[in-house]
Amino acid sequence: MAGGNDAPFTIDVSPRIKRLPPYLFARINALKADKRRAGNDVIDLGMGNPIDPSPDFVIDKLAEAAHDPKNHRYSASVGIFNLRREVALKYKRRYGVELDPNTEVVATIGSKEGFSHLMLALLGSGDTVVVGDPAYPIHMYAVALAGGNVISVPLGNDEAFLARIEHVLKNLYPRPKLIVLNYPHNPAAVTVDAPFYEKAVALARQYNVLIVNDFAYGETCFDGYKAPSFLATPGAKEVGVEFSTMSKPYNMAGWRVGFCCGNSEIVRALSTIKGYYDYGHFAPIQVASILALRNGDEFVREQCLIYEKRRDVLVAGLRKIGWTVENPRASMFVWAKVAEKHLAGQGSIDFCYRVLEEADVAMAPGRGFGENGEGFVRIALVENELRIKQALRQMDAALNGRKRHVRPSNLSRADMEARPASAIVDAMQDAAGEHGQSSLIGG
């Protein structure tokens, strides 16, 4: 052997990878993949991955723009000007917020990429960030990957939550650099009204701490509720930024288009990092996204009605099963407290495993989003109403010992018709491990 070194060759990954927490869902994901391989019809309400199609007029524009060779070159890492301008126009139209497309808007490869790189742009080793618990996992992992530390504060949407944050700001040294907010919230579907942000901005100014609001579900609202934009708060642009996305309102999750808007220095820091890491989206995706932002308001409204109806079916069914469930007025999720008698002393991870095993229904265990998620499950509105009803029947049978109407391996014609084609694609992706770690809790 060259050099005579007989020691086994080792690969030592970076400390930043070693800092990531252990993966809690391997067992559940493995069971889901096994079941699908065995031909079981798993009803997957685990991930907030939209099942409905992107708008036809947007797809048509993508195809047209893809035929133009001038769109085949590298694009701009911050997004083309016309896309950033369209985002600014939409903020003005919907929230009355003025944004300079040149300095206050940057396009990101989905808001998840944007958020993650923003943490890299803002944090140094040992910096601390306040995050509510439970939280969308990347709000914690991106901080860890950037070398920072998360200070978890029990989640809320009121004075008490802000008082808990203030307590941390007052007493922690060095003082946290940043507060992550996320309303409408994933996973807890918690919402706020405008005065909440006014108090948050005052807190940020008083303690010189930045605010990043993740507004991924800003347009996915029900019952006439309109989620306020953090940026519409006076003074917000001085202290922070807001992430938005095409993924949820326009069913364009796979297109990977998001935005970071607000404070120009923060936007510049993110743009700088992105300038080193990427060349921006494929230009036709940006051209098509412009059209979605310009002409897609009605599409977004209709999609909200679809989620609203699914939510009604799910909430009513869960209550019938015996669970205490709040009616969410936004987001793509129902955050449900599992009845004690159904938990039967188990944690939410084991409980979800059992429901998957016995009812062929996949949900995201609350514990995966933080300690305060224990005892809850997150159920995504990503199956049609018939399939949600079917999931509820199967859960009722498994948990309350009622008769199961349809065996998964012996589907009725109606069930087959109710099954979206995406379930088949999901099964293939699960088998290939394509969703990787995020298959249950990612979206």
Ligand X SMILES: Cc1ncc(COP(=O)(O)O)c(C=O)c1O
Name the 3-class secondary structure at 96. coil
Binders of ligand X in range 154-183 (CB under 6 A) = 182
Q: Which of 182/439 has CB closer to ligand X?
A: 182
Q: Which of 144/395 has CB closer to ligand X?
A: 144
CB atoms within 10 A of CB 347: 15
Minimum separation from the CB atom of position 281 to ligand X (A): 12
Minimum separation from the CB atom of position 183 to ligand X (A): 10
Binding mask 130-159 for ligand X (x = CB under 6 A): ------x-----------------------
Residue 111 within binding range of ligand X, rule CB under 6 A? yes
Interacting residue with ligand X among 128, 247, 289, 390 (CB under 6 A): 247
Q: Spell out a b/e string for 380-411, using b for 16 or more CB atoms within 10 Å of the CB, else e.
A: bbbbbeebbbbbbbbbbbbbeeeeeeeebeee
Minimum separation from the CB atom of position 127 to ligand X (A): 21
Q: What is the 3-state secondary structure (H, E, C) of 35-74?
A: HHHCCCCCEECCCCCCCCCCCHHHHHHHHHHHCCHHHHCC
- From 89-97, 107-115, 124-132, 427-435, give the range in contact with ligand X by CB under 6 A: 107-115
Minimum separation from the CB atom of position 227 to ligand X (A): 12
Interacting residue with ligand X among 54, 75, 116, 186 (CB under 6 A): 186
- From 90-98, 108-116, 312-320, 398-406, give the range in contact with ligand X by CB under 6 A: 108-116
Helix, strand, coil % (nearest 5) of the chain? 50, 15, 40
Minimum separation from the CB atom of position 370 to ligand X (A): 13
Q: Which of 35/112 has CB closer to ligand X?
A: 112
In the bound complex, which residue of the shown chain has the CB atom lying closest to ligand X?
A: 110
- From 55-63, 105-113, 125-133, 401-409, give the range in contact with ligand X by CB under 6 A: 105-113
Q: Which of 270/343 has CB closer to ligand X?
A: 270
Interacting residue with ligand X among 50, 55, 101, 110 (CB under 6 A): 110
Interacting residue with ligand X among 214, 242, 360, 430 (CB under 6 A): 214
Minimum separation from the CB atom of position 156 to ligand X (A): 17
Q: Which of 42/253 has CB closer to ligand X?
A: 253
Six token digits for residue 70: 């001038």
CA atoms within 13 A on the CB side of 111: 27
Minimum separation from the CB atom of position 296 to ligand X (A): 16
Binders of ligand X in range 15-74 (CB under 6 A) = 48
Q: Which one-letter amino acid corresponds to residue 187?
A: P
Residue 216 within binding range of ligand X, rule CB under 6 A? yes
Q: Which of 308, 109, 349 is nearest to 222 (CA)?
A: 308
> Which secondary structure element, helix H or strand E, spans residue 294, and what is its range?
helix 283-295
Q: Which of 259/351 has CB closer to ligand X?
A: 259
Name the 3-class secondary structure at 25. coil
Q: What is the 3-state secondary structure (H, E, C) of 353-402?
A: HHHHHHHCEECEEHHHHCHHHCCEEEEECCCCHHHHHHHHHHHHHHHHCC
Residue 220 within binding range of ligand X, rule CB under 6 A? no
Name the DSSP class of 313: H
Six token digits for residue 291: 């059209």
Number of helices (H), then strands (E), in the chain: 18, 13
Q: Which of 375, 133, 106 is nearest to 241 (CA)?
A: 106
- From 8-16, 109-117, 282-290, 406-414, give the range in contact with ligand X by CB under 6 A: 109-117
Minimum separation from the CB atom of position 299 to ligand X (A): 17
State the number of binding residues for ligand X (CB under 6 A): 14
d(CA 413, CA 392): 18
Minimum separation from the CB atom of position 338 to ligand X (A): 21
Residue 245 within binding range of ligand X, rule CB under 6 A? yes
d(CA 185, CA 179): 14
Residues 6+ apart with CB under 8 A from 190: 155, 156, 157, 183, 184
Where on the chain is the footprint of ligand X (CB under 6 A)? 48, 110-112, 136, 182, 186, 214, 216, 245, 247, 253, 258, 443
